[in-house]
């Protein structure tokens, strides 16, 4: 269950899952408990979108259609944020990476800083429940991409472009799957168990010179 032979000087976690799986809610709880920094690319891109800059306008075109923002835009934003931040307790990356290309580029970025991803927490929720949750919150969310048609597209995009990341991180031995259908606190308890197991059993790579 735990990644083997990963030396993490920072606790870098990825919270992974489809739209509506509760990534944002769980991320907030994780950062509070483990003193980490929350980095949600969805929030980051929505902030950009609110600004009427050329970049903001470009980002809006994708978000409003339920499509992924191009990798180069997202990667540039991530690079700017994590640059020089390699002495912090760690990050919870929420909604990132979302494509194989992002994951590979992200691994290269983190390798340079010797701050790899420690654990990828995959929150699993049935598709029907996801749709109901997203539709249920759509009136209050104020999000331009929370309409029936766009929610369906986001779920499709997730299956096509993001789901393949499970195999990617499985092959690195980093993924832990959590059933996300239970109440929030129960899901959080299972996530904490996975993180604590990692923290107690992680192995340190032998230094080779």
The DSSP letter of residue 20 is T
Query: Does the annotation mark 143 as catalytic?
Result: yes
d(Cα 169, Cα 176) in Å, to the nearest integer? 9
d(Cα 8, Cα 117) in Å, to the nearest integer? 8
d(Cα 187, Cα 179) in Å, to the nearest integer? 7
Query: Does the annotation mark 133 as catalytic?
Result: no
- 78 Cα distance to chain centroid: 12
Kindly state the smallest distance separating residue 120's Cβ from ligand ADP, in Å. 14
- Using CB under 6 A as the binding rule, whether residue 191 contacts ligand ADP is answered as no
Binding to ligand ADP by CB under 6 A, coded x per residue (else -) over 67-96, reads: xxx----x--------------------xx
Asked whether the bond before 36 is cis by omega within 30 degrees of 0, the reply is no
Answer for which of 60, 98, 174, 190 binds ligand ADP (CB under 6 A) is: 98
Contact 112, 27 (CB under 8 A): no
Query: Does the annotation mark 98 as catalytic?
Result: yes
Q: Which of 29, 65, 133, 143 is catalytic?
A: 143
- Using CB under 6 A as the binding rule, whether residue 30 contacts ligand ADP is answered as no
Q: Evaluate the CA torsion angle 56, 21, 24, 203 in order and state its sign.
A: negative
d(Cα 42, Cα 84) in Å, to the nearest integer? 22
Binding to ligand ADP by CB under 6 A, coded x per residue (else -) over 31-70, reads: ----------xx--x----------------xx--xxxx-
Q: Applying CB under 6 A, what is the total number of residues that bind ligand ADP? A: 17
Strand order in the sheet with 91-94: 37-40, 91-94, 13-16, 119-124, 175-179
Q: Which of 137, 152, 179, 203 is catalytic?
A: 137
How crowded is residue 77: how many other Cβ atoms within 10 Å of its Cβ? 19
Kindly state the smallest distance separating residue 9's Cβ from ligand ADP, in Å. 24
- Using CB under 6 A as the binding rule, whether residue 154 contacts ligand ADP is answered as yes
Q: Which of 46, 48, 60, 98 is catalytic?
A: 98
Interface residues toward ligand ADP, by CB under 6 A: 19, 41-42, 45, 62-63, 66-69, 74, 95-96, 98, 102, 145, 154
Q: Give the residue numbers marked as catalytic.
A: 23, 98, 137, 143, 154
């Amino acid at each position: 269950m735990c990644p083997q032979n990963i030396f993490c000087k920072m606790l870098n976690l990825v919270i992974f899952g489809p739209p509506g799986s509760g990534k944002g809610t769980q991320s907030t709880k994780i950062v509070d408990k483990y003193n980490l920094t929350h980095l949600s690319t969805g929030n980051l891109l929505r902030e950009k979108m609110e600004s009427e800059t050329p970049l903001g306008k470009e980002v809006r075109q994708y978000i409003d259609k339920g499509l992924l923002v191009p990798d180069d835009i997202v990667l540039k934003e991530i690079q700017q944020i994590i640059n020089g931040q390699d002495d912090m307790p760690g990050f919870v990356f929420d909604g990132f990476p979302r494509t194989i290309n992002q994951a590979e580029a992200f691994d290269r970025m983190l390798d340079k800083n010797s701050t790899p991803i420690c654990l990828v927490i995959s929150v699993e929720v049935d598709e029907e429940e996801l749709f109901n949750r997203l539709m249920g919150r759509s009136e209050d969310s104020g999000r331009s991409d929370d309409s029936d048609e766009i929610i369906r597209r986001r779920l499709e995009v997730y299956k096509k472009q993001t789901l393949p990341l499970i195999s990617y991180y499985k092959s690195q031995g980093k993924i832990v799957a959590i059933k996300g259908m239970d109440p929030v606190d129960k899901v959080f308890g299972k996530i904490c168990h996975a993180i604590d197991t990692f923290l107690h059993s992680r192995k340190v790579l032998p230094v080779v010179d």
